[in-house]
């Protein structure tokens, strides 16, 4: 059995840990509101961009000059998985849920005889994926030094992806991130961004109105599609950021509660042990007095 000194040290250590987790919870809560507002503000723009491109793409359907970003390369052999995770841990299952979704997708594609490559955005995703797919990771981007995410960060990532696509390194690109729903609910999401899937956006708006475009649809799409790629990556980064702080806030709250429960149990054991030792000493004193 541990000594009273060891028990006191253990209780003090648990209390110190509880203070740390409580502080981290408060920091995550303070950062969550700004991250949530940024993610929610980006959604309408990204969704409207999808709608506009869907309308233009439907008008340009069948054009021999259609952009490969819209119609693809004509092949479905090489897949690039763009996996966006956090730079830090202590956020529950946030990072592992995204990685699990990407890993399942990769294994399913490999079972079909497809070639899979990984583009990792975020240190935690890279650390988990390299255990199994180290040779298939073609590029990594860390945003740990970025204090506030901006469109320029997403644009830089999109340019790297576009450069690889134009070099013929892959046929299909799928984006993985966590969509923020609430503090306790973050949804791992997979979204194909090359070639762009436009059917769902077009269908959700009902019959598409008829427009006349100037310049031609193909020329408009040539300009819009690369920007849309950056917009979708930016949206994913903002959603991830909000999801991370939501998951971290929940995880630290649970850790604080667990530490409180441990302190209660440890204090109870300490008091019982101390009482037993005092009782034992009293019995010894009384026994010694009676013997005299």
On the question of pLDDT at 191 being above 60, the answer is: yes
User: Which secondary structure element, helix H or strand E, spans residue 256, and what is its range?
Assistant: helix 217-291
Of 151, 153, 164, the residue nearest 193 (C-alpha): 164
Mean pLDDT along residues 168-183: 92
Least confident of 71-80, 162-171, 176-185, 204-213: 204-213
Q: How far apart are CA 165 and CA 163, in angstroms?
A: 5
Local structure of residue 148 (DSSP, 8 states): S
The percent of residues above 70 in pLDDT, for the chain, comes to 89
Q: How much is the pLDDT for 224?
A: 84
Q: How much is the pLDDT for 22?
A: 92
Name, in order, each residue with C-beta under 8 angstroms of 97's C-beta and a sequence gap of 6 or more.
178, 186, 188
On the question of pLDDT at 139 being above 50, the answer is: yes
Q: How much is the pLDDT for 201?
A: 45
Q: Is the CB of residue 214 less than 8 Å from the CB of residue 155?
A: no
24, two tokens: 């981290």
Q: How far apart are CA 73 and CA 59, in angstroms?
A: 20
Return the higher-pLDDT residue of 191 and 212: 191
Q: How much is the pLDDT for 225?
A: 87
Please state the separation of Cα 12 from the chain's center in Å. Answer: 34
Return the higher-pLDDT residue of 137 and 218: 137
Determine the straight-line distance between the first and last CA of the chain, rounded to whole angstroms. Answer: 33
Mean residue pLDDT across the chain: 86
Q: How much is the pLDDT for 202?
A: 46
What predicted TM-score, i.e. pTM, was given to this entire model? 0.83
φ/ψ of residue 81, rounded to 5: -105, 110
Q: pLDDT tens, 30-64?
A: 889 889 999 988 888 888 888 888 777 776 656 66
On the question of pLDDT at 12 being above 90, the answer is: yes
Q: How much is the pLDDT for 206?
A: 53
Q: Which residues are 289's β-sheet partners?
A: none
DSSP 181-221: EETTEEEEEEEEEETT--HHHHHHT-SPPP---SS-HHHHH
Query: How far lies 135's CA from each of 66, 129, 131, 138, 208, in Å?
Result: 34, 10, 10, 8, 45
Q: How much is the pLDDT for 63?
A: 66
On the question of pLDDT at 70 being above 50, the answer is: yes
Mean pLDDT along residues 76-101: 92
Phi-psi region of 221 (alpha: psi -120 to 50; beta: other; left: phi over 0): alpha
Burial (Cβ within 10 Å: 0-12, 13-18, ≥19) of residue 149: middle
Name, in order, each residue with C-beta under 8 angstroms of 213's C-beta and a sequence gap of 6 or more.
56, 59, 220
Q: How much is the pLDDT for 197?
A: 78
Q: How much is the pLDDT for 1?
A: 59
Q: How much is the pLDDT for 207?
A: 56
Q: How much is the pLDDT for 208?
A: 53
């Amino acid at each position: 059995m541990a000594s009273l000194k060891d028990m006191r040290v253990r209780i003090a250590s648990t209390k110190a840990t509880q203070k740390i987790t409580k502080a981290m919870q408060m920091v995550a809560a303070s950062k969550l509101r700004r991250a949530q507002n940024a993610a929610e503000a980006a959604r309408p723009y990204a969704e409207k961009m999808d709608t506009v491109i869907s309308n233009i793409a439907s008008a340009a359907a069948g054009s021999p000059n259609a952009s490969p970003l819209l119609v693809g390369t004509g092949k479905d052999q090489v897949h690039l998985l763009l996996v966006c995770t956090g730079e830090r841990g202590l956020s529950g299952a946030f990072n592992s849920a995204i990685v699990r979704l990407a890993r399942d997708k990769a294994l399913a594609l490999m079972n079909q005889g497809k070639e899979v490559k990984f583009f990792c955005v975020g240190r935690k995703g890279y650390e988990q994926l390299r255990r199994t797919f180290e040779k298939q990771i073609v590029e990594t981007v860390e945003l740990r030094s970025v204090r506030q995410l901006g469109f320029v960060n997403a644009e830089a990532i999109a340019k790297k992806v576009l450069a690889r696509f134009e070099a013929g390194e892959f046929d299909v690109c799928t984006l993985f991130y966590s969509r923020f729903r609430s503090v306790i609910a973050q949804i791992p999401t997979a979204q194909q961004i090359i070639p762009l899937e436009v059917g769902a956006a077009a269908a959700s708006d009902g019959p598409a109105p008829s427009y006349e475009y100037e310049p031609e649809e193909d020329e408009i799409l040539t300009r819009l599609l690369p920007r849309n790629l950056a917009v979708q990556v930016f949206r994913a980064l903002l959603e991830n950021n909000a999801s991370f702080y939501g998951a971290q806030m929940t995880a630290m709250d649970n850790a604080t509660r667990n530490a409180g429960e441990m302190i209660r149990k440890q204090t109870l054991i300490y008091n019982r042990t101390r009482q037993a030792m005092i009782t034992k000493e009293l019995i010894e004193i009384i026994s010694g007095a009676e013997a005299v």
